[in-house]
Structure 1
Amino acid sequence: MTQPTTDVIAIGNAIVDVMSPCQDALIDTLGMTKGGMMLIDTDQAHGLYGAMGPAREISGGSAANTLAGLAALGAKCAFIGQVADDQLGEVFAHDIRAGGIDFSTPARAGNPPTARCLIFVTPDGQRTMNTFLGASQFLPAEALDEAAIANAQVLYLEGYLWDPEEPRRAMRRAIDAARNAGRKVAFTLSDGFVIARHGDDFRALIDAGQIDILFANEHELAALTGQDDFDAGLAQVAAKVPTVVVTRSEKGAHAISNGEHAHVPAEPVEAVIDTTGAGDLFAAGFLFGHVRGMGLTQSLRLGAICAAEIISHYGARPEADLKALIAQKLG
C-alpha cells in the first residue's frame, strides 16, 4: 500500500450558512423544533429567510467545516461536494480553497441553486437549522476522484448527505474506493432525523465492517442503538466499530478504540454564543490527532479544544489560530 498524499478527504454538503440571532418566541411562531435540523424546500426557504432578522452569510456544511478545522491545524485536506454555477457556489468554492483545501468538483449548471442553511440562533447559543439542499443533493458518482480518495489516509463522510439518493450512491462508491486502497472510512451520524430515515443503512454498514471511525453525540447514539443507557449503547457500537467517538455537550466526550476507553471533560468557555459546528470541529480535532498518530485521550482533548473555540462565537468556521490555541492549552 502506497503512502497517502492527503490526510483527510471528505464528502459532504456544499452549503452557505445564513445565520441570524432571534428570540425563542420566533422559533415557536415559525413552528420549528429548537436545536433541531429540518430539510426545507424552495418555498419554505423563501418564507423563513423573510422572517429572519439581519443575517451573516458564512460558508458551511458539516464535513466542509470539519476540513476547515483540520486545515487550520495543519492537515492536508480535500473536499468533494456539489455547488451550482451561481454566486453562492462561487462564494463556497472561494472560501474552501482560501482555507487551503483542495476542491475540484465541477459546478452544476442550471437549477436548483447552491444549498443554503438558514440558522436561527437563540440567546442561549442554541441553533435551529433549516436546510435547503439545492445543488448539493445532485452530487453524481461520476464526480468522484477515486484516485484522490485512494490517496487519502481517511475518507470522512457526512451523514446529512446520505438522505438524497444520488450522493448516497456516490458515497457507497467512495467507501469501496477507500477500502480497496486500504484506507480508513470515518462516518458522522449528523442528526437524529437522518438516523430515523436511514438507520438501517448505517447499521448495515457497521455490521459489514465498512466503518472504521464513527462520530456521534449521545442522542444520535441512542437513536442508532435503541439503548437509553449511554454506556450500554457505547459498548454495543464499540463491539463492531474499531473507533467510536461520542460527544455529550457539557459532560465531555468518550471514545473507545480497540478496547481502550478514554474520556475528557468539556473545555471551559466564558460564554456559549453559538453551538453551530461544535460537533464538526470536535471531529476535526480528533481526526487531526488520529492522522498524526496521537493517543486516544490526546485526540479527544484536541476535539474538545476545537469545539470550545467554535461555540465561543457565531459561525462554524474557526476564528482563532487553532495551532496557537492548541499549543497554549497543551503546552
Structure 2
Amino acid sequence: MKSAYDVLGIGNAIVDVLSRTDEAFLGRHGLVKGSMMLIDEERAETLYDAMGPAIEVSGGSCGNTMAGVASFGGRGAYIGKVRDDQLGAVFGHDLRSIGVAFDTPKAESGPSTARCLILITPDAQRTMNTYLGACTGLGPSDIDPALVGSAAVTYVEGYLWDAPAAKQAVLKAFEAAHAQGRQVSITLSDSFCVHRYRDEFRDLVRNRIDILFGNEAEIKALYQVESFDEAMAAVRREARIAVLTRSEKGSVVIKGSETWAVPASPAARIVDTTGAGDLYAAGFLFGFTHGKPLAECARLGGVAAAEIISHVGARPEQALRELI
C-alpha cells in the first residue's frame, strides 16, 4: 500500500540552546559529561543565565531526525506538543519551512515550550539539560490513527517514556501502525534512559518494534553486558532489525542470522556531536522507506551523521540529497 509519508516522527518538541563551554563549567554545576538530564524550570533558568553565548534552534531528537528525512528529499510528518508561545511558534515554523507536516494542536495553558540546554566541550561531546515543559502534555488524543496509517514507518524516541501520557500516545500509534500493515521504530535515546526503562524497552523489542536504533553504550545497557559482541548476540535473539551505531567505528545492522558492518563516513571535521544519532536514523529510514538494501541504509545514515558533526547544531547545513 502506497504511503502519503515515508516517516512519521513522534517526539519531544524542544528548542535547542547550544553553547560552547569547558569541563570546569560542567564540574561547577554538577553535570555529567555526555549525559542527558531532565531539569525543572528553575534549574533551566539558572543554567541558561550561567551559559555563554548560545545558538537557539528548533530541535528535539525526533525533530532532528525528521529534518534529516526532509533534507534527503523524503516525505515526513511530526507529532509533538508545544505551547502557544513564541518558542512554540518558532518550532512549528522551522519544521513546516523544510517540508515536514506538523499539525499537532498547541497547548493553550500550562508549562511553556520545552528547551534543551546543550553544553559542548572542546572534545565535541555534548551534555544536555532538558526542561520538558509543554512536551509532557503530549497524550493519546494527539494521535490521529489515519495519519499514523498513512506513514510507511512511525519512528519514536525512547525519551517519551519519561512522560506516562506520552508513552500511552506512542503505544496507541504503534497499534494504529500495525493495524494498517505499517512498521514502527524506536531509538533508545540515551543509556540513562535505558536504565530507567530497561524492562519495558526489552518487552517492546521482543513484541512490538520492527526497527531498533541504539548506540554501543545504549545496547550494552539494555542487555547489561560488558562487550559489544555480547550485546550483538543478545539483540539478535530479540530484535527484528537492530541498527547499532559505534561512532568512528561505523555501524552494524543485524537481521536474523545476517550482519552488515558498515564503516563510518569520513567527516571533514568534528565540531559538535549533537544530533549524530538522530541524523543517522534519518539516513537509514530514508533508505529503508525507499527500498534500499540494509547496508546502503546504514551508509546513508553515516553520510548524514558525518555532515551533522562537522558544524554546531543538529540540523543539516547542506542538503543531504546532494551528498548522495
Q: TM-score range by the shorter chain?
A: over 0.9
Q: CA deviation at 1:180?
A: 1.0
The amino acid of 1:304's aligned partner reads G
Shift of 1:193: 1.4
Alignment of 1:1-331 (within 5 A): 2-208=1-207, 210-326=208-324
Indicate if the aligned counterparts of 1:278 and 1:311 stay in contact, CA closer than 8 A.
yes
CA distance in 2, matches of 1:287, 1:304: 12
Q: Secondary structure at 1:272's aligned position in 2?
A: coil
Aligned to 1:239, what secondary structure does the other structure show? Answer: helix
Structure 1 stretches lacking a partner, 5+ long: 327-331
Q: Deviation at 1:306?
A: 0.4
- Secondary structure, counterpart of 1:302 in structure 2: helix
Report the alpha carbon displacement of residue 241 of structure 1 after superposing the two structures with TM: 1.5
Deviation at 1:235, TM superposition (A): 2.2
Cα distance, 1:158 vs. partner? 0.7
TM-score, structure 1 normalization:
0.96
**Contact (CA 8 Å) 2:269, 2:310: kept in 1 or not?**
yes
Separation (CA, whole Å) in 2 of partners of 1:270 and 1:277: 16
Secondary structure at 2:238 match in 1? coil
Query: Which residue number in structure 2 is paired with residue 329 of structure 1?
Result: none
Deviations 1:112-140 (A, max 9, x none): 00000001111111111000000011102
* Residue segments in structure 2 that go unaligned for 5+ positions in a row: none
Q: For residue 20 of structure 1, report the CA deviation from its aligned partner.
A: 0.6
Deviation sequence 1:282-320 (CA, Å, 0-9, x none): 000111111111111111111111000000000000001
Cα distance in structure 2, aligned partners of 1:172 and 1:193? 21
The Cα of 1:109 is off from its aligned counterpart by 1.0
TM-score, structure 2 as length reference: 0.98
Tell me if structure 2 keeps the 8 A contact 1:274–1:314: yes
- CA distance in structure 2 between the partners assigned to 1:307 and 1:269 by the alignment: 8
2:161 and 2:15 map into 1 onto residues whose CA distance is: 19
Q: Residue 83 of structure 1: SS of its match in structure 2?
A: coil
**Alpha-carbon offset, residue 201 of structure 1:** 0.8
Q: Alignment partner of 1:125: what SS?
A: coil
The offset of 1:28, in angstroms, is 0.9
Q: Distance in 2 between matches of 1:276 and 1:311?
A: 7
- Distance (whole Å) between structure 2 residues aligned to residue 75 and residue 145 of structure 1: 21
Amino acid at match of 1:3: K
Whole-angstrom distance in 2 between the partners of 1:68 and 1:204: 29
Q: What is the distance in 2 between the residues matched to 1:107 and 1:325?
A: 35
Q: Is the 8 A contact 2:251 2:264 kept in 1?
A: yes
Deviation at 1:50, TM superposition (A): 0.7
Instruction: Tell me how far apart the structure 2 counterparts of residues 39 and 269 of structure 1 sit (CA, whole Å).
Output: 31
**Partners in 2 of 1:12 and 1:212 — Cα distance?**
18
Contact 2:18 2:119 in 1 (8 A): yes
Q: Encode CA deviations 1:229-259: one digit per residue, 9 max, x unaligned.
A: 2122112112221110001111111011233
The code of the aligned residue for 2:199 comes to D
**Counterpart of 2:128 in 1: which secondary structure?**
strand
* SS of the residue 1:267 aligns to: coil
- Alpha-carbon offset, residue 200 of structure 1: 1.0
Divergent runs of 4+, >3 A: none
Identity of aligned pairs, percent? Answer: 52
Deviation of 1:197 after TM superposition, in Å, equals: 1.1
Are the aligned partners of 1:257 and 1:296 in contact in 2 as well (CA < 8 Å)?
Answer: no
Distance 1:316 1:214 in 2: 21
Deviation at 1:141, TM superposition (A): 0.5
Q: Indicate the SS of the match to 1:203.
A: helix
Q: CA RMSD in A?
A: 0.9
| Equivalences, count | 324
